[in-house]
Amino acid sequence: MSEVFHNGIVAAIATYAAVNIGRILWPGNDSSLGLKNWFHNQNVDIKYWKNKVCFITGASSGIGEALAILIAKSGGTVIACARRKEKLNQIANMVKDCDGKIIPHKLDVTNISEDDFKTFLQLNIISKFGKLDICVLNAGRGALGLAENLNMDNVKSLYELNVFSVIMQTKALIPVLKKQSNKANIVITSSLVGVLPNPGETLYTSSKHAIHGFFNALRPEVSEFANVLLVCPGPVSTEFGENRISGAVDGTEKGRKKSIYVSAERCAQLYAIAIQEIESKGHTEVWLAKNPFLLFAYLARYTPHLFAYVFKSVAKGMLPKE
């Protein structure tokens, strides 16, 4: 009887593993959200976003722009921030006839003090709307090149934007969110390189690992009044790659098929679904990418030794050519 029971348990585990691997590899799968729910809801819940007040940095292009537009079209109010005010005005104009709205603000997160940022939040959000539901810390920049070619000024510049400014904003947000009656969501645009090592992007990869360490440690500190969600996109069709700090002539994205990229609009849709499911599904980290990147992320997280063996054979082909 015990042998039959043992074999049954082994078979059940093997079946469960095989089914989930199949779901990861299923054609068209482009996120880790599906594993939380067999029949995953692929739709943005307009009822959830109605009258939500959202703050988004890096909203003038890419994922930030697409997410701001999606939220406004779903009935939310977006305080959209970036350095390019003219671009923000154009985006706001695109949703002027929608139920929600985008309010543009010129803001350089690397050139504002903590006190001034607190004042910004108070004057432009809390005083006007009485609450802040969702904070999307999305501003960031990439960097391409081998570690031996790193310029230390570039290292400091990238960390100022990708790490230090994010920590500063979070520190300023905490007392604001603490006073609210509603539980807020702090959402950070990280990257799949925060899960996967990416040769040729050592600087960028290290900045995202720093972000993961900070927010995973922060989550229990703020759990009484805020949820913390790390969103990790893989390759996305945006101008992000064009704005990277470059230390090499030829990049890791050269020769990649367009079919492996997730569109900014699709990324924003998955981003919004992840946010609206924070409470119901308990999301703390989600991955937005197509295969093989999604599969590699699962291997790296759950079978690190197997991943190390597989990755060793493909890593050299990922290096940028100088």
213: Cα within 13 Å, side-chain hemisphere? 7
288 DSSP β-pair partners: 31, 233
What token pair was written down for 172?
Answer: 């300023």
Mark 80-102 as b/e (b = at least 16 C-beta within 10 Å). Answer: bbbeeeebbeebbeebeeeebbb
Q: Measuring CA to CA, which residue among 114, 119, 120, 73 is closest to residue 95?
A: 73
For residues 131 and 182, the answer to whether their CB atoms sit within 8 Å is yes
Vertex 203, ends 198 and 207: CA angle to 5°? 95
Residue 144: CB atoms within 10 A of its CB come to: 22
Active site residue 204: yes
Place of tokens 């996305």: 236
- Cα torsion through 242, 243, 247, 248, rounded to 10: 0
Q: Which one from 16, 48, 159, 204 is the annotated catalytic residue? A: 204
Integer Cα distance of 211 and 92 in angstroms:
29
> Catalytic site residues?
204
